[in-house]
């Protein structure tokens, strides 16, 4: 009997906790998966920006019968936009804003750390490897600044468009806002990055071609991943009991308030 009462008491406490959580405003609610999503978002962002640029690849595309050359990070960086869509759709713009700022600080620190490591004088037995380290991690300040600025602006554009389109569509047609917001965010990201990093260094015609190719590749990922996005969003909305609408949201990017 005592065991049954104890179990009943635990069940009642669990139910009260769930009801209390649902009664709390979104900014105060505990979430089961939000922290994991933030960690995954920052991890993908760092890997795409630090490991991705280490290799330039060329593949043959049969549909257009031509070679396409791109930085390998293009295959993974768009995942950060998919995460941004999921975070905004389920948790709202303000919580995605915290993830963007976390990614911004992580990128800035990683860039600083990379520049210090490259600048440190190598040991005698390591001198033969110094050129390889500099090649992989020794991005110029111009490229580093372009990468961080483009990410910051593009991510906020993506989240803002996503949140606004959800209000305009009254929560319907998820695919229109995941694709539409990514097209806007990636456009800003690509335009800023390639303009800041390579304008005046690369031939303008070549620069336009590279910019357009990267934009189409990154945006195409969103379309391909739409079914996966639907599954993840559906799971999180059910698990978190949350489907946020940014009706009274302050859309300034200069805040950490959730």
Instruction: Look at residue 215 and give its three-state secondary structure.
Output: helix
Residue 255 placed within a domain: no
Structural domain contains residue 246: no
Domain count, the chain: 1
Burial of 138 (0-12, 13-18, 19+ CB in 10 A): middle
**Residue partners of 153: CB distance under 8 A and separation at least 6:** 188, 189, 192
pTM of the model: 0.85
For residue 4, being part of any structural domain is answered with no
Could you tell me the two tokens for 108?
Answer: 């800035």
The pLDDT value given to residue 2: 46
Higher-pLDDT residue of 144 and 246 is 246
Q: Is residue 10 part of a domain?
A: no
For the chain, the distance separating the N- and C-terminal CA atoms, rounded to the nearest angstrom, is 45
Establish if 44 belongs to a structural domain. Answer: yes
- Residue 194 confidence (pLDDT) above 80: yes
Residue 245 CB neighbour total at 10 angstroms: 13
Return the closest-CA partner of residue 87 out of 160, 184, 170: 160
In this predicted structure, the answer to whether residue 110 has a pLDDT above a threshold of 70 is yes
Residue 104 lies in a domain: yes
User: Which domain range does residue 219 map to?
Assistant: 32-240
Mean of all residue pLDDT scores within the chain: 87
Specify the pLDDT at position 151.
Answer: 96
Pair of tokens at residue 130: 């110094």
Residue 5 lies in a domain: no
Band of the pLDDT at 4, cuts 50, 70, 90?
Answer: very low
What was the pLDDT predicted at 19? 42
CATH number for 54: 1.10.1760
Residue 57 β-bridge partners: 70
The answer to whether residue 25 scores a pLDDT higher than 70 is: no
Confidence of residue 234 (pLDDT cuts 50, 70, 90): very high
> Among 67-76, 184-193, 197-206, whose mean pLDDT is lowest?
67-76
- 155 assigned to some structural domain: yes
pLDDT at 14: 56
Does pLDDT of 21 surpass 80? Answer: no
């Amino acid at each position: 009997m005592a065991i049954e009462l104890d179990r009943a008491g635990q069940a009642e406490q669990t139910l009260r906790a769930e009801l209390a959580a649902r009664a709390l405003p979104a900014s105060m609610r505990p979430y089961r998966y939000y922290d994991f999503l933030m960690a995954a978002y920052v991890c993908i962002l760092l890997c795409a920006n630090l490991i991705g640029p280490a290799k330039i690849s060329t593949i043959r595309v049969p549909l257009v019968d031509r070679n396409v050359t791109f930085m390998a990070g293009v295959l993974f960086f768009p995942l950060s936009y998919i995460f941004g869509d999921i975070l905004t759709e389920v948790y709202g713009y303000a919580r995605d804003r915290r993830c963007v700022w976390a990614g911004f600080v992580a990128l800035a620190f990683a860039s600083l750390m990379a520049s210090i490591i490259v600048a440190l004088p190598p040991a005698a037995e390591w001198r033969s490897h110094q050129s390889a380290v500099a090649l992989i991690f020794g991005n110029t300040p111009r490229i580093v600044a372009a990468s961080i600025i483009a990410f910051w602006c593009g991510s906020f554009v993506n989240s803002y468009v996503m949140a606004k389109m959800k209000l305009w569509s009254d929560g319907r047609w998820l695919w229109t806002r995941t694709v539409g917001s990514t097209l806007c965010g990636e456009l800003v990201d690509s335009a800023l990055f390639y303009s800041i990093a390579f304008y005046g260094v690369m031939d303008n015609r070549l620069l336009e071609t590279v910019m357009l190719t990267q934009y189409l590749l990154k945006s195409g990922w969103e379309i391909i991943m739409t079914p996966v996005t639907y599954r993840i969003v559906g799971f999180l909305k059910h698990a978190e009991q949350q489907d946020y609408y940014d009706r009274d949201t302050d859309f300034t990017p200069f805040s950490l308030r959730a």
